[in-house]
Amino acid sequence: MAADKPLTAYALNCSLKPSSADEKSSTDRMLSEILSALGKHGVTSEAPVRVLDHDVKPGVLSDMGDGDEWPALREQIIAADIFVLGLPIWMGQPSSVAKRVLERLDAFLGETDDRGRMPAAGKVALVAIVGNEDGAHACHAACFQSLNDVGFTIPSNAGLYWVGEAMGSVNFVDLLETPEKVAGMIEMAASDAAHLATLLKGEPYPGVKQ
Amino acid sequence: MAADKPLTAYALNCSLKPSSADEKSSTDRMLSEILSALGKHGVTSEAPVRVLDHDVKPGVLSDMGDGDEWPALREQIIAADIFVLGLPIWMGQPSSVAKRVLERLDAFLGETDDRGRMPAAGKVALVAIVGNEDGAHACHAACFQSLNDVGFTIPSNAGLYWVGEAMGSVNFVDLLETPEKVAGMIEMAASDAAHLATLLKGEPYPGVKQ
Amino acid sequence: MAADKPLTAYALNCSLKPSSADEKSSTDRMLSEILSALGKHGVTSEAPVRVLDHDVKPGVLSDMGDGDEWPALREQIIAADIFVLGLPIWMGQPSSVAKRVLERLDAFLGETDDRGRMPAAGKVALVAIVGNEDGAHACHAACFQSLNDVGFTIPSNAGLYWVGEAMGSVNFVDLLETPEKVAGMIEMAASDAAHLATLLKGEPYPGVKQ
Amino acid sequence: MAADKPLTAYALNCSLKPSSADEKSSTDRMLSEILSALGKHGVTSEAPVRVLDHDVKPGVLSDMGDGDEWPALREQIIAADIFVLGLPIWMGQPSSVAKRVLERLDAFLGETDDRGRMPAAGKVALVAIVGNEDGAHACHAACFQSLNDVGFTIPSNAGLYWVGEAMGSVNFVDLLETPEKVAGMIEMAASDAAHLATLLKGEPYPGVKQ
């Protein structure tokens, strides 16, 4: 039942800053730690991709034409077994960049096969949230719902996060070391995601004859 | 890899009305259709349980003592492979009865085994929402997040729902027949849930040595 | 345009523990500090009322009969100019007790006068949230929406809160002193609520002829 | 106490389509009906502004430099007494364009005067949501919280919306006439917003000495 090829993961960083801003990204740190933990389970991956480094057009089609760089990102999401969506909290809610990514994934709803399965069927999603303070669970909720709506499966313990105390201003990227509870959460999520992705790759959802 | 025993499902109806109110429950109808669809995949179940028929105490422990009837419900959740949480929308949000159920499940966070697995690890959850109008996706979001936080796995297409037009007053239970799109959604969710529960029953999450 | 009588405030504590549990309530501390700050603006009030000390039945009518103690609480909400809803976070979301209160307020939608005004028209609401970690903004969002739906006006800076670091376990009630930022937030909210309630008491919403 | 100058309203349309797409916008229709209803209360306004017709950069500062067209929009928000945020639902949640607008307003938190008042203090906000189906209340919740966080006051009945039946595909802009309930909702919100904005313009929040 084991998958023949190693599992792959693909991580998107929905920071409000492009890489060119040359500021350390808390989301990047969280994503990198997750990809590293997945690596221990044989999951291969490239570095997280910063969405704002690409010209992702607003819209709900898989290709909005006219310089739209979403198709290349979309292709990598579809090529991977595990999708890791990473994003910062703003105003207690997911960043607008994350919202744009989710809107582009909305196109999956119209891209089903003859068994009613969307392109994300059989893929496993993790959601990584960072913020100075408050909002992680709300972001998990919004992202789990959106990702599940377009076909992703959410493994046990899929919501990863770190936030500081109310009205605080500490950044995750500046912590001297990752808090033990966060590290443990990452180990568990990686184990669960790798296990579930292996199962689903070996025995895909059968879907329903349309 | 197949499970030896047939899969079982357990459905809770978080209506604001106890059965004694003797009113038809839209949530009940949705849950019954889901259990019936699961049956076609060999999943056995009893009729949905109305939470308000039981004295479920407020709190976040698995047993709040003093006449608390949650332990019996909790035992059935743990005995089943698939948990179907059904609830009506009030004010665009999950019913208070659903919130109480989720709060009681919060205790799972402290009930991990030596591999860090909660009692819901390996169990699959579906969320069924009905309302006169608006609120289903928000209820899915809140429930997916809570259920995932306490260890449930969310299969592809796990959010089931029906709502009417804005400010409408039609009840799902009064529809002459289930809308085709809702019926198709139920078939797909049942197929996905049964498939995923079979996989996870056959090969449980390994967890992480604590 | 000044109101003739002093403004009054009424605070509900939606903790999952009744007073008889004899545990200190973080929500109580937050509410008491808010009422005290309102007092500096001439707003009178009694101590916060613990909802779980009363038998508030599930439902969406103003009186669910049969021992329902909501009518007495409802009467005090209607008698006051400022309503302060206080609640703990559980699973990143409002407590089930808060949800029950909001569901009972839903009845206001059907209790409009001949100008379409609900019983809460002209009343100002503040929302106070406490938790060990994460979830305050999501609770503000859910409560603002529900309270506004049934007619309350939300003054500037109406969302009060304290939460600790991710996965923390510190309780607000155990803090040696209220963090400066929280104290400042309370002062501002009290000033805004008192000002707005004075204006609306002096010149009520005219509503629209039905 | 009456304001000397007529009240003004400013409406932003957070559609995912720029005007150049030359498609009718449901959000536009809803916003236009609201501005028209406000007009009956003496509130003047220009046509709703389509955010995507402007190059609003991602970020959380009032001016992100480098071609950022937000400053011009921000100026008009600050010049108006009533802000009407209009947006379509995607995946049950506010559009990414609306999220970007809210993130840009986040800068208000750092732009307080010597009485702690943000640029939005004393301004009244309405939130108008349209969608084919489901999600309006969740959008109200997210927007009320964000707008209130940055200083706006939310009048009674501030959440306007229309959505169709679950999984439907009817657009508000294509309805032959505005449903009576929606029209009544708009009349009431306009009356409330105009009344509250008049009060707050006449007697601004005093704020708290910093």
> What share of chain D has pLDDT > 70, as a percent?
98
Residues ≥6 apart with Cβ < 8 Å to C92 = A136, A137, A138, A140, A141, B145, B146, B149, C134, C135, C138
Q: Does A184 touch chain B (CB under 8 A)?
A: yes
Contacts of D106 in chain C (CB under 8 A): none
**Nearest C-alpha of chain D: how many angstroms from A120?**
16
Q: What structural domains and CATH numbers belong to chain C? A: 8-202 (3.40.50.360)
A145·D92 Cβ contact <8 A: yes
Question: Do residues C108 and C151 touch, judged by C-beta distance below 8 A?
Answer: yes
The helix-helix angle for A96-105 and A136-149 (nearest 10°) equals 20
Interval D66-83: pLDDT, tens: 999 999 999 999 999 999
Query: Does A29 score more than 60 pLDDT?
Result: yes
**Nearest C-alpha of chain A: how many angstroms from D176?**
26
Q: Does C88 touch chain B (CB under 8 A)?
A: no
pTM over 0.80: yes
Contacts of C92 in chain B (CB under 8 A): 145-146, 149
Q: Name which of C144, A16, C9 is nearest D149 in CA terms.
A: C144
H or E stretch at C30? helix C26-39
Q: Name which of A56, A44, A49 is nearest A7 in CA terms.
A: A44
Q: Does B191 touch chain C (CB under 8 A)?
A: no
Query: Does C1 score more than 50 pLDDT?
Result: no
Residues pairing with D127 in the sheet: D85, D159
Q: Does B174 touch chain D (CB under 8 A)?
A: no
Interval A126-139: pLDDT, tens: 999 999 999 999 99
Query: Does A185 score more than 80 pLDDT?
Result: yes
Token pair listed for A65: 């034409």
Interval B189-207: pLDDT, tens: 999 999 999 999 999 999 9
Mean pLDDT value across residues D104-123: 98
Q: Does A25 touch chain B (CB under 8 A)?
A: no
Burial class of residue A210 in the structure, from the number of CB atoms within 10 Å of its CB (0-12 exposed, 13-18 middle, 19+ buried): exposed
Q: Is C49 helix (H, G, I), strand (E, B) or coil?
A: strand
Mean pLDDT of chain A: 96
Which pLDDT score, from 0 to 100, does residue A3 have? Answer: 47
Which chains are adjacent to chain A, needing at least 3 Cβ pairs under 8 Å? B, C, D
Helix/strand/coil (H, E, C) string of chain A? CCCCCCCEEEEEECCCCCHHHCCCCHHHHHHHHHHHHHHCCCCEECCCEEHHHCCCCCCCCCCCCCCCCHHHHHHHHHHCCEEEEEEEEECCEECHHHHHHHHHHHHHHHCCCCCCCCCCCCCEEEEEEEEEECCHHHHHHHHHHHHHHCCCEECCCCEEEEEECCCCCCCHHHCCCCCHHHHHHHHHHHHHHHHHHHHHHHCCCCCCCC
Which chains are adjacent to chain B, needing at least 3 Cβ pairs under 8 Å? A, C, D
Token pair listed for A170: 């500490």
What are residue A74's phi and psi, to 5 degrees? -55, -40
Which pLDDT score, from 0 to 100, does residue A21 have? Answer: 85
D91·B161 Cβ contact <8 A: no
CA B140 to chain centre: 11
Interval A39-70: pLDDT, tens: 999 999 999 999 999 999 999 999 999 999 99
Which pLDDT score, from 0 to 100, does residue B4 have? Answer: 66
Q: Does B149 touch chain A (CB under 8 A)?
A: yes
A144·B137 Cβ contact <8 A: no
C153·D151 Cβ contact <8 A: no
Interval A157-174: pLDDT, tens: 999 999 999 999 999 999
Q: Does B142 touch chain D (CB under 8 A)?
A: no
Contacts of A99 in chain B (CB under 8 A): none
The upper half-sphere exposure of residue B1, i.e. CA atoms within 13 Å in the direction of its Cβ, equals 14
Query: Does A199 score more than 60 pLDDT?
Result: yes
Which pLDDT score, from 0 to 100, does residue A4 have? Answer: 66
B149·C92 Cβ contact <8 A: yes
**Nearest C-alpha of chain B: how many angstroms from D191?**
20
CA dihedral C95, C101, C103, C108 (to 10 degrees): -150
H or E stretch at C156? none
Question: Do residues C130 and C162 touch, judged by C-beta distance below 8 A?
Answer: yes
Instruction: ipTM value, please give it.
Output: 0.97
Which pLDDT score, from 0 to 100, does residue B21 have? Answer: 85
C146·B91 Cβ contact <8 A: yes
Mean pLDDT value across residues D11-20: 96
Query: Does D3 score more than 60 pLDDT?
Result: no
Q: Does D88 touch chain B (CB under 8 A)?
A: no
Burial class of residue B14 in the structure, from the number of CB atoms within 10 Å of its CB (0-12 exposed, 13-18 middle, 19+ buried): buried
Burial class of residue A122 in the structure, from the number of CB atoms within 10 Å of its CB (0-12 exposed, 13-18 middle, 19+ buried): buried
Distances (CA, A) of D132 to C79, D58, D88: 40, 27, 9
A151·B152 Cβ contact <8 A: no
> What share of chain D has pLDDT > 90, as a percent?
96
Token pair listed for C37: 């700050």
C99·B92 Cβ contact <8 A: no
Give the largest Cα separation in chain A, rounded: 54
Token pair listed for A98: 């994350």
Contacts of C166 in chain A (CB under 8 A): 136, 161-164, 179, 181-182
Mean pLDDT value across residues D29-44: 98
Question: Do residues A86 and A31 touch, judged by C-beta distance below 8 A?
Answer: yes
Mean pLDDT value across residues A102-120: 98
Interval C21-75: pLDDT, tens: 878 999 999 999 999 999 999 999 999 999 999 999 999 999 999 999 999 999 9
Mean pLDDT value across residues C155-175: 96
> Given the structure tokens 């999501």, which residue do they identify?
C138
